[in-house]
Amino acid sequence: MNARLNVFASPVAAKAWKQIIAAGKSLGDSTLPAATRELVMLRASQINGCAGCIDMHTKDATAAGETAVRLHLVAAWREATVFTEAERAALELTEEATRIADAAGGVPDEVWANAAKHYDEDQLAALVTQIAVINAFNRLNVTVQQPAGHYQPGRH
């Protein structure tokens, strides 16, 4: 399978992608735990059906020490006992923000309040931005049908 478009061969797309990549990298400097960021990126990618991002984030999380059990259970986090309450709040916010078009009023107040119990304002800002960035990556990759399976951990 080949991608429909090589985004890095297009000056316009390459410039935009580099900015999105930079935005994602800047979140590594936040106090939001790296494990939480990876779980969030994996869950949004699962919802959006982005094979390239699922490939990347499972491999990067594994390389960073995440367990296979937790990675396998991200899709069923509500029933899984391996996530902290803070991680569960982040995953819930991720689902609501990723599926924003499915809810008439956007992210429900109770979902936001639950996340705010576990994260300070800077961490919430990083969490919301991480969700937005991964959704942008997902939409781009799914649209151009970016193939998956060959990602090497740490490449991006």
Contact 66, 42 (CB under 8 A): no
Instruction: Flag whether 79 is in a domain.
Output: yes
Q: What is the CATH number of the domain that holds 101?
A: 1.20.1290.10
Instruction: Flag whether 84 is in a domain.
Output: yes
Instruction: Flag whether 3 is in a domain.
Output: no
Instruction: Flag whether 149 is in a domain.
Output: no
pLDDT, mean of each 10-residue run, the chain (156 residues): 75 88 90 95 96 91 93 97 98 96 86 98 97 94 75 67
Instruction: Flag whether 6 is in a domain.
Output: no
Domain carrying residue 47:
35-144
Residue 84 vs residues 81, 93, 145: alpha-carbon distances, Å? 8, 14, 34
Average pLDDT across the chain, whole number:
90
| Whole-number Å distance between alpha carbons of 93 and 74 | 14
Tokens of 38: 């990876």
- Overall domain count for the chain: 1
Instruction: Say which residues have a Cβ less than 8 Å from residue 136's Cβ, sequence separation at least 6.
Output: 20
